[in-house]
Amino acid sequence: MSTGLIILTLVGYIAILFVVSWLASRRSDNATFFTGGRRTPRMVAAVAMVGAAMSGVTYISVPGTVLVDGFSYLQTTLGFVVGYAIIAFVLVPLYYRHGVVSLYEYLDHRFGVTTHRTGAWLFFVSKILAASLRAYVICVVLQALLFDSLGVPFAINALIMMMLVWLYTRRGGVRSVVWVEFVKSIVMVGSIIAAILFIIKGMGISLGDAMSQIGSSELSETIFMDDALDRRYFWKQFIAGIFLVVAMTGMDQDMMQTVLSCRSERDAKRSLMLSIAVQVVVITLFLLLGALLYLFVADRGLVATGGAMPLVDGEGAVQVARGDDLFGYVATQCGLPVVVGVLFVLGLVASTYSAAGSALTALTTSFTLDILGGGRRDDATVGRMRRGSHTTIAIVMALIIILFYEFSAGGVITLIFTMASYTYGPLLGMFLFGMLCKRRVKERAVPIIAIASPIICYIVATHSDEWLSGYEFSYEIIVLNAALTMLGMLLFSKRR
């Protein structure tokens, strides 16, 4: 795929992004930035939520995990369905009842300002690291596809991306994010479907033959019930999926800002349940694409060494080092029609810029209202605080992306969920304690509990093999993390 075509695709989508953002951000104010004016139609919110849940990392990393993990990700996805029901029928009524703009205002209502700010800081650290890691992975792909050939350093690549994200979100905020996510969802799903069809055509087989090959291969193994110690064991993945989505969506300002922009509680509930139904279909498409990619490269003479990455050719040369590299390699280097490469770049750019913009908006909202206390200031002051926070956070994200450049890992989707299990666990514990228990907590202890719980979980997870007879923790460590947080809050509490 030529450099000129990549640049044309990149510039074309960014132009569409700014047009959509400009149309959405007209007559914007603080309320528009923080809540979208609470006028988002529920169908738009539902489609936008699909895009919000699918970042650029999902786009390239989920297909790459199929060789090692098969379709086991669907086990976690089934947990997501239950988790979305909990969000819709437990958390959404809670948020609308309290009229919150930032989710962490609930912690202020329930416990006080110290717990409120502790929860906000947990979200801030978790989100800025996860969002920067997602953006980093995509910057690496674009660096290899485009910027290296232009002689542009990685740091400039990262700064350009965050500058564009800052520009399109600086006025419209949530309203811009919702409509950009709506467009992104359509573009990303369309590119995946088209890529599947072109790869099948490139293999010279029919759609039915392709599905038959996938179904008869080990790549499509979905349910793992044989070994409870295996990190892919069904009940581990299913239960972890419930808690992960409740924490990472229901208690995440980035994810819930779209839902809370709906006109009513009823619309918010409906948009959530419609969104997860579509997400199950989309994740299945990602996994089917991953299986087809591996079948395609095997047909071209590339084999996996040791049952995993890297992929090497018949002469022993490494062609793909990590699963995250596979989609881009096949789309641009394996002789498929040039439109497949264009679709790959288009889906990648769409998912990257919208996800980064959504995260930047949510971080700005939480930092302004929760940490700086903007909710207690006049509108003009809040506007100045918002603009200053927005710019500063964009710069910090760019710097974190540049720092991540020295770090490389395969299967980044796994790394993000693992990291979230530690950072979102205390936040999950705080919300659950607030909803399930009426006791009053000694707030000075809350920050200590929020730091101690992940540390204890990390120690347990790293020694679980010897302490728990070979048991290997996966994402379900978030359950232990939340439980330890609740136990700590119970120990430092008293009756009302």
Per-residue model confidence as pLDDT tens digits over 116-132: 999 999 889 888 888 88
- Per-residue confidence band for 303, with pLDDT thresholds at 50, 70 and 90: low
pLDDT at 410 over 50: no
Q: What is the reported pTM?
A: 0.79
Report whether pLDDT(277) > 70: yes
Model pLDDT, residue 145: 76
Q: What is the DSSP letter of 492?
A: T
Q: How confident is the model at residue 412 (pLDDT cuts 50, 70, 90)?
A: low
How far is 173 from 361, CA to CA, in rounded Å? 6
Residues 495 and 440: beta-carbon distance below 8 Å = yes
Question: Which range is least confidently modeled, 241-255, 382-396, 409-423?
Answer: 409-423
Highest mean pLDDT among 18-22, 63-67, 262-266, 272-276: 272-276
Q: Is 348 within 8 Å of 56 (Cβ atoms)?
A: yes
Contacts of 177 (CB under 8 A, 6+ apart): 36, 48, 169, 257, 258, 354, 357, 358, 361
- Per DSSP, 2 falls in state -
Q: Which domains does the chain have, with CATH numbers?
A: 3-494 (1.20.1730.10)
Task: Give the tokens for residue 49.
Answer: 């939520």
Which of 350, 5, 335, 344 lies closest to 146 in space, CA to CA? Answer: 5
Q: What are phi and psi of 172, to 5 degrees?
A: -80, -25
Of 14-28, 85-99, 274-288, 313-327, the least confident: 313-327
Between 121 and 26, name the one with better pLDDT: 121
User: What pLDDT is recorded for position 314?
Assistant: 66
How long, in residues, is the chain? 496
Q: Return the higher-pLDDT residue of 28 and 140.
A: 140
Q: Using pLDDT thresholds of 50, 70 and 90, give the confidence band for residue 491.
A: very high
Residue among 109, 177, 185, 113 nearest 362 (CA): 177
Whether the pLDDT of residue 407 is over 90: the answer is no
Query: What is the pLDDT of the chain when averaged over all its residues?
Result: 84
